[in-house]
Structure 1
Amino acid sequence: MSLNIASRSTLVAHLVITLWLFLVVPTQAAEPAQSVAVSGLKVSNATLQLPIPGTHNSAVYLHLQNTGTKPETVVGVSTAAAAKAQLHSHTSVDGMMRMRPVESLTIAPGKTLVFESGSYHIMLLGVEPSIATGDTVELTLELNSGKTAQIMARAVSRYDGADHSHHH
């Protein structure tokens, strides 16, 4: 069977698009499962903000919703992705923003606690340097009931998608 040049070009174009759809799109669009069913807690939008180059500490941001009928209290967090993980908050002291560890965070029934920059977050100290954009990191939330909940956070960088065209 002989293909003319136009048919070959079409075939090659279809092959390239098909490979792109199977190889590239899933890795960019894939989101790790981020829901936990322990004690009525549901986690969404969990991301690990990779450390700024030359540093080793960073934070995890997420939404933690209590879908249960009683308050849930998070008393700790751990991960193999860092030497240490802590619950943290940002507070204003004499006009200065201060970051401090907190002992526990309680989420009322039907409420969502947002972990974000400038507020509550999970502080990671000594982040594993091999973690790269797109990697999935497991964290364990420890509850005052003694139960634990595993959550997955997707690693992102503040430089992802940045326009560096102004650099020379």
Structure 2
Amino acid sequence: MKCLAPVFRYSRAALAGLSMAGSLMIGCISSANAAMVSITDPAVRAVPPTSTNTAAFMTLQNKGKDDIKLVGVDSSIAARVEIHGHRHEGHKMVMFKMDDLPLPAGKEVRLESGGYHIMIMGLKKTLKEGEEVPLTLHFSDSDAIDILAPVKPLMETMSKDPHGHMHH
């Protein structure tokens, strides 16, 4: 597995063993039964200082043989973090909280503006462009991956449809 960003990978059992040994390995760590999830292009949307909420985006690829789910996300910079989706209701896009996000084996799932994303709510500080936001992604197989997602300007975190229209 290729690391494209600083990543701490552990299973809860492995973490207990590492903690008892007094050290934690940094980098890509995987075990025979660990989910093989790669994370690319993580980003957190920069927001005005008056805003207490923002969103994180990335691409998740399950390189394993079994389907798994993203079941939660944590961050030390916010009161709470949720997995969200969008759906059309009439002429409006409605955002909703999801209990989990399926990651089919061998498939890629994009978290992007106008689709699945991670909502970061109750920010404890103003995020500045270029800072890195710590996020811990929790999976249904009890694995977790820690990443640092850079804070990027609004326009860099907007997705474009095939016709060139911006979505947020």
Q: Does the alignment reach a TM-score above 0.5?
A: yes
**Contact (CA 8 Å) 2:49, 2:126: kept in 1 or not?**
no
> Which of 82, 98, 103 does residue 99 from structure 2 map onto?
103
d(CA) in 2 for partners of 1:157, 1:147: 31
Task: Tell me what 1:57 maps to.
Answer: 53
| Structure of higher CA gyration radius | 1
Task: Tell me what 1:119 maps to.
Answer: 115
Paired residue secondary structure (1:119): coil
Over aligned residues, Cα RMSD in angstroms? Answer: 2.1
TM-score (norm 1): 0.70
State yes or no: 1:90 paired with 2:86.
yes
Deviation at 1:53, TM superposition (A): 4.1
AA paired with 1:96?
A: K
**Contact (CA 8 Å) 1:34, 1:153: kept in 2 or not?**
no
Number of equivalent positions: 130
Q: 1:149 to 1:32 in 2, by over 3 A?
A: closer
Deviation at 1:130, TM superposition (A): 3.9
Within 5 Å, which residues of 2 pair with 1:1-168? Answer: 32-33=5-6, 39-158=35-154
TM-score (norm 2): 0.70
Unaligned runs of at least 5 residues, structure 2 = 10-27, 29-33, 157-168
Unaligned runs of at least 5 residues, structure 1 = 1-30, 161-168
Paired residue secondary structure (1:134): coil
Richer in helix (by share) = 1
Paired residue secondary structure (2:142): coil
Richer in strand (by share) = 2
d(CA) in 1 for partners of 2:48, 2:94: 19
